[in-house]
Amino acid sequence: MLGDEPVLPPAALPDGDLEALNDAELVWAAQHRELVTGLCEGQADVETLSRLFDRVQAGWLASADRDDPHTLVNAFGIALGDLLVSRLPGMRWQVYTDARGPELVLAHPVHDLVVFPISSVARQWGHAPEDWFARYADDVTEGARAILGDGS
């Protein structure tokens, strides 16, 4: 995972490329999006998503026979990214590819701004404090707006 910074300018990234999502990646993201949307009954506001994240993580931690968390991490990463896209005009899903492989990220087409929502969830999964999801979304929004300025 790249650094602990929620918002990175491309100059801070190792050598890699940003590209549009291909059809398979669009389907993959849609499938993971459906998981969270179904659990929230269509409510995708930050409070609902944060409560759901806390509840699902707590349930996963309490389980004696824990399943691999990748599906949950990816689903909440997509939900986090979608929330940020709704808050930050111009941000869009892209694929960042470097020596480690491809990763879905958010990037701005004009400003030097890249956000790694799935990696952020992966780093926190299993030990995220209560309300981490909402606080992180707010922190990223604030940091991104500082970079984007008023003109997004």
- Report the distance separating Cα 63 and Cα 139, nearest Å: 30
Domain ranges of the chain: 7-146
Q: What percentage of the chain carries pLDDT values higher than 70? A: 89
pLDDT 10s digits, 33-92:
999 998 887 778 999 999 999 999 999 999 999 999 999 999 999 999 999 999 999 999
- Report the distance separating Cα 114 and Cα 10, nearest Å: 6
pLDDT 10s digits, 18-29:
999 999 999 999
Predicted TM-score (pTM) of the model is 0.89
**Which of the following CATH numbers is that of domain 7-146: 3.10.290.10, 1.20.120.1090, 3.30.465.10, 3.40.50.720?**
1.20.120.1090
- Both tokens of 80, joined, read 């986090």
Whether the pLDDT of residue 30 is over 90: the answer is: yes
